[in-house]
């Protein structure tokens, strides 16, 4: 079959069927995401360009992407990016993929920023409705457009088009001076969300992983947030300017919190691709949290807030650890988007 015959529609149908046979739980979504990444078409544009043939170079690129996804590599690593709240982040193997539940942690941290600062709404533009997907098409199996997709090889699709835009965000201006410390920044998703959603906030983001520090810095620069976010490499807050200790209104962290015995039971898509340093929280999952709790009184202002995402089985224990330490006015546990207890929010006494 000549390459011209492989239209967007045929590629979508073939990829969906192939990924389904490979055990992908959401094969159509994966197929759309891969086609969107390779062609530059938004997911809606895919359905408006069904009859367009892919160019040979796009077909080659699609081949690579389908092979990688078929082997179980997370989509975010295959495409190299993912949306998080109002921003889009570069992702790469070796650095944890941000999870939707972490958006709840950012909400908690923003509350801490707002409580610490004078905030007022900026002039808002219209917030567009998110694009709706069109109905799915029927599956089509058959010959691979790429030849043997089980083989290691790479290349392949359509003309460039607009990528799906992140929804516009209603900005809130913050009186300059509020400082936030993030420990274990990974891609920078938390620090960069806070800085972009609360202009005026200064964020110091740390990570022990040099690769995470490099990626967070790249994401920061791509978002034009160099003035607001400092990324430093080091254990916990060891690389933070000592003069800044005691000046933070919020200490936020999504530390490694999976109990060591649970790590090997995680899906292969996680343990086969994501870094152990980002996952393993020691015997009860609270090793890094305990160390964060120990340094929090030195990092935070009076009345400052500690926000941590934790494992649902140990977040209650974490709250007890806070209550057992003097100097805290409150320690509460919040639920994530799926109503599981996941986020600890503790406030220092004034």
Ligand X SMILES: C[S@@+](CC[C@H](N)C(=O)[O-])C[C@H]1O[C@@H](n2cnc3c(N)ncnc32)[C@H](O)[C@@H]1O
> Which residues belong to the annotated binding site for S-adenosyl-L-methionine?
184-188, 207, 254
Given the structure tokens 């408006």, which residue do they identify? 48
The residue (of 67 and 109) whose beta carbon lies closer to ligand X is 109
Nearer to ligand X, 59 or 216 (CB): 216
Within 83-209, residue ranges assigned H as helices are 102-116, 189-197
* Interacting residues of 21 by C-beta distance below 8 A, sequence separation 6+: none
Q: Which residues, in sequence order, are CB contacts of 193 under 8 Å at separation 6+?
A: 84, 85, 86, 87, 103, 106
Among residues 61 and 307, whose Cβ is nearest to ligand X?
307
Place of tokens 């340094």: 295
Name the minimum Å distance from CB 186 to ligand X.
3
User: Using CA atoms, how far apart are residues 223 and 204, in angstroms rounded to an integer?
Assistant: 16
Q: Residues marked as binding for substrate? A: 254-257
Classified as helix, coil or strand, 229 is strand
DSSP class per residue in 275-318: -HHHHB--TTS-HHHHHHHHHHHHHEEEEEEEEEE--TTTHHHH
> Rounded to the nearest whole angstrom, what is the least distance from the CB of residue 268 to ligand X in the complex?
18
From the list 161, 202, 209, the residue with the least C-alpha distance to 179 is 202
DSSP code, position 242? G
Q: CA 290 to CA 257: how far, in whole Å? A: 11
Least Å from the CB of residue 33 to ligand X = 19
Query: For residue 24, what is the DSSP state?
Result: -
In the bound complex, what is the minimum distance in angstroms from residue 335's beta carbon to ligand X?
A: 17
Task: Provide the binding-site residues for ligand X, judged by CB under 6 A.
Answer: 96, 98, 102, 183-187, 189-190, 206-209, 212, 235-236, 254-256, 277-278, 288
CB of 340 to ligand X, least distance (A): 16
Distance CA 209, CA 61 (A): 30
Nearer to ligand X, 96 or 156 (CB): 96
Q: How far is the CB of 116 from ligand X (least distance, A)?
A: 21
**Minimal distance, residue 296 CB to ligand X, in Å:** 14
Q: How many of the other CB atoms lie within 10 Å of CB of 64?
A: 19
Beta carbon of residue 169, minimum distance to ligand X (angstroms, whole number): 19
Residues annotated within a binding site: 184-188, 207, 254-257
**Toward ligand X, which CB reaches closer, 66 or 78?**
78
Q: Which is nearer to ligand X, 61 or 308 (CB)?
A: 308
The CA distance from 337 to 178, in Å, is 27
The H or E element spanning position 66 is helix 56-70
Token pair of 260 as six digits: 């060591």
Q: Which is nearer to ligand X, 190 or 203 (CB)?
A: 190
User: Which tokens go with 110?
Assistant: 């923003």
Tokens of 335: 């639920």
| Nearer Cβ to ligand X (115/239) | 239
């Amino acid at each position: 079959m000549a390459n011209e015959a492989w239209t967007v529609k045929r590629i979508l149908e073939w990829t969906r069927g192939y990924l389904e046979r490979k055990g992908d739980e959401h094969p159509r979504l994966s197929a759309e995401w891969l086609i969107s990444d390779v062609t530059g078409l938004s997911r809606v544009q895919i359905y408006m360009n069904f009859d367009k043939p892919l160019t040979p170079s796009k077909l080659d690129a699609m081949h690579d992407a389908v092979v990688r996804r078929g082997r179980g590599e997370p989509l975010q690593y295959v495409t190299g990016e993912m949306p998080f709240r109002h921003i889009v982040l570069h992702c790469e193997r070796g650095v944890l993929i941000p999870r939707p539940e972490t958006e709840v942690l950012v909400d908690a941290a923003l509350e801490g920023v707002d409580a610490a600062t004078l905030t007022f709404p900026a002039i808002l533009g219209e917030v567009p409705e998110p694009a709706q997907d069109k109905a799915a098409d029927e599956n089509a199996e058959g010959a691979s457009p790429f030849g043997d997709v089980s083989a290691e090889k790479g290349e392949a699709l359509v003309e460039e088009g607009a990528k799906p835009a992140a929804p516009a965000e209603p900005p809130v201006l913050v009186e300059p001076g509020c400082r936030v410390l993030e420990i274990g920044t990974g891609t920078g998703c938390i620090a960069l969300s806070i800085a972009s959603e609360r202009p005026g906030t200064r964020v110091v983001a740390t990570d022990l992983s040099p690769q995470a520090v490099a990626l967070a810095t790249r994401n920061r620069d791509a978002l034009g947030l160099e003035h607001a976010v400092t990324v430093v490499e080091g254990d916990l807050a060891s690389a933070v300017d000592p003069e800044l200790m005691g000046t933070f209104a919020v200490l936020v962290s999504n530390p490694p919190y999976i109990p060591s015995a649970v790590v090997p039971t995680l899906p292969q898509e996680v343990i086969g691709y994501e870094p152990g340093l980002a996952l393993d929280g020691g015997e009860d999952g609270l090793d890094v949290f305990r160390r964060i709790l120990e340094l929090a009184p030195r990092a935070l202002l009076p009345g400052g807030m500690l926000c941590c995402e934790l494992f649902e089985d140990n977040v209650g224990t974490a709250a007890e650890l806070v209550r057992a330490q003097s100097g805290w006015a409150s320690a509460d546990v919040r639920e994530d988007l799926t109503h599981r207890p996941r986020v600890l929010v503790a406030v220092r006494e004034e």
